[in-house]
Amino acid sequence: MPKMKTDRGAAARFKVTATGKIMRRQANRSHLLEKKSSKRTRRLGKEVQVSAGDRRQVRRLLGI
């Protein structure tokens, strides 16, 4: 059986913390920022955990 290959697109988008949490970037931070409040853009700049429903698929793509 050949080795499992890591999905490189997923590897670029997700990071695994030392405790095993899978983190992702938030949407709506790339453009049209003038109309969004500073409070909102600061909040969107932080990484968040992948939702429970997506965790299994992301782990499979990352090979963990």
Output the tens digit of pLDDT for each of the chain's 64 residues. 899 999 999 999 999 999 999 999 999 999 999 999 999 999 999 999 999 999 999 999 999 8
The whole-model pTM stands at 0.86
Q: Which pLDDT score is estimated for 26?
A: 97
Q: Which pLDDT score is estimated for 1?
A: 86
- DSSP-derived 3-state class of residue 46: coil
In contact, 31 and 10? CB cutoff 8 Å? no
Considering the segment(s) 8-54 as one domain, its CATH architecture is Irregular (4.10)
Domain boundaries, the chain: 8-54
The tally of CA atoms less than 13 A away on the side-chain side of residue 58 is: 19
